[in-house]
């Protein structure tokens, strides 16, 4: 039990990667709390977790709204008495060629994917500081670590806002690690490659999703798309005391992106 008696929050935890992390954390002994904007998915996830005997809660929290994030952290602390782990996972994409991208596209993506990480970390940090203990894990992307060919093989192209936000998450990780380290808080980052979740289909038809996955499989050193368990286990590593002497780091979990090595 690597998270026994810990209280772990995952933003965007009602779907995809966040949900996989929530399930794994619960099975490792944590009380888990979902912060998401999808009310029905929160309700379904919390119901399933509680039916399986886990301590779980979930609340609506729009990570782009500073007041929401502060209210959310206060609520979690009042309910569980601690905040040990925060996974900043909520994210959106709006792929559009650079020349056509609107100011609204840019603000929406940067708002969730970068400012949301800032707001949630700032809201959780005071509780972690008082405990002298905390683990923050940020979710970046392979697109935040290097530009890849992107407008072919089922990919719509135009990741300027998303890639900028995800690169920002990596630097935010380093600066938070520096500021929070003296208080016993580690801050690390995971940069996933391709994983099949609802976000993968948000800008693609089903045929384009399959074309995209096939293209990835051919170009990955491991020749296959990852499973959500393979990603959640790395998020767990940073969230647990197995990584107690690691901070400010970004680990790519991408099956070997040969197009960028
Ligand atoms: P997902 O299945 O779409 O899950 C994202 C969750 O975040 C959804 O429940 C979504 O709610 C929620 N959300 C969206 N905006 C929010 C907000 N303002 N406040 C709180 N929650 C919000 O996506 P995923 O694939 O699991 O992605 C999780 C993270 O991994 C993202 O940061 C993504 O950029 C990153 N990532 C994913 C991949 C991949 O291949 N899947 C690769 C690299 C990086 P709704 O359902 O209502 O939108």
The predicted structure's pLDDT at residue 219: 85
Q: Are 6 and 217 in contact (CB under 8 A)?
A: no
Tokens in use for 68? Answer: 């929401």
Tell which atom from ligand 1 comes closest to the C-alpha of 166: 34
CA pair distance 240, 151, nearest whole angstrom: 37
Catalytic residues: 162
Mean pLDDT by 10 residues, the chain (261 residues): 97 98 98 98 98 98 98 98 98 91 97 98 98 98 82 71 97 98 98 90 82 86 96 98 98 87 63
Q: Are 72 and 59 in contact (CB under 8 A)?
A: yes
Instruction: Establish whether residue 16 lines the binding site of ligand 1, counting it when its CB lies within 6 angstroms of any ligand atom.
Output: yes
Question: Starting at the edge strand that comes first in sequence, how are the strands of the sheet with 185-192 ordered?
Answer: 56-60, 31-36, 7-11, 85-88, 134-139, 185-192, 250-253
Would you tell me which CATH number, out of the four given (2.40.50.140, 2.40.50.100, 3.40.50.720, 3.10.310.10), belongs to the domain 7-244?
Answer: 3.40.50.720
Ligand 1 center from residue 129 Cα (angstroms): 27
**What is the DSSP code string of 127-171?**
HHHHHT-EEEEEE--GGGTS----SSTT-----HHHHHHHHHHHH
| CA dihedral for 34, 35, 36, 37, sign (positive or negative) | positive
The predicted structure's pLDDT at residue 173: 99
The predicted structure's pLDDT at residue 157: 72
pTM for this one?
Answer: 0.97
Where are the chain's structural domains?
7-244
Closest Cα partner for 154 from 194, 204, 93? Answer: 204
Ligand 1 center from residue 29 Cα (angstroms): 24
Instruction: Establish whether residue 200 lines the binding site of ligand 1, counting it when its CB lies within 6 angstroms of any ligand atom.
Output: yes
256: left (phi over 0), alpha (psi -120 to 50) or beta: left
Give 133-176 pLDDT, tens digit per residue. 999 999 999 999 987 665 566 666 788 999 999 999 999 999 99
Tell which atom from ligand 1 comes closest to the C-alpha of 18: 26
Instruction: Establish whether residue 12 lines the binding site of ligand 1, counting it when its CB lies within 6 angstroms of any ligand atom.
Output: yes
CA pair distance 7, 80, nearest whole angstrom: 7
For 51, other C-beta atoms within 10 Å of its C-beta total 9
The predicted structure's pLDDT at residue 204: 81
Q: Are 181 and 201 in contact (CB under 8 A)?
A: no
Task: Return the residue whose CA atom lies nearest to atom 46 of ligand 1.
Answer: 38
């Amino acid at each position: 039990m690597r998270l026994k008696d810990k209280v772990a929050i995952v933003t965007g935890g009602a779907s995809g990667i966040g949900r996989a992390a929530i399930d794994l954390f619960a099975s490792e002994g944590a009380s888990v709390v979902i912060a998401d904007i999808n009310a029905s998915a929160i309700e379904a996830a919390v119901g399933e977790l509680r039916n399986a005997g886990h301590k779980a809660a979930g609340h609506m929290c729009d990570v782009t709204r500073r007041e929401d994030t502060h209210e959310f952290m206060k609520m979690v602390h009042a309910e569980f008495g601690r905040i040990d782990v925060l996974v900043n996972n909520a994210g959106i994409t709006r792929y559009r060629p650079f020349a056509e991208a609107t100011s609204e596209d840019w603000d929406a993506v940067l708002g969730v994917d970068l400012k949301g990480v800032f707001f949630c970390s700032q809201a959780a940090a005071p509780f972690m500081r008082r405990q002298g203990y905390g683990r923050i894990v940020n979710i970046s992307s392979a697109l935040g670590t290097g530009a890849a060919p992107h407008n072919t093989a089922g990919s719509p192209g135009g990741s300027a806002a998303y890639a900028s936000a995800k690169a920002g998450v990596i630097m935010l990780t380093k600066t938070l690690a520096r500021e929070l380290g003296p208080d016993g808080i580690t801050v690390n980052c995971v940069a996933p490659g391709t994983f099949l979740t609802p976000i993968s289909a948000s800008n693609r038809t089903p045929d384009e999703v399959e074309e995209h996955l096939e293209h990835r499989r051919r170009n990955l050193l491991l020749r296959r798309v990852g499973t959500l368990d393979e990603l959640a286990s790395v998020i767990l590593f940073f969230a647990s005391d197995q990584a107690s002497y690691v901070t400010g780091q970004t680990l790519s979990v991408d099956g070997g992106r040969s197009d960028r090595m």
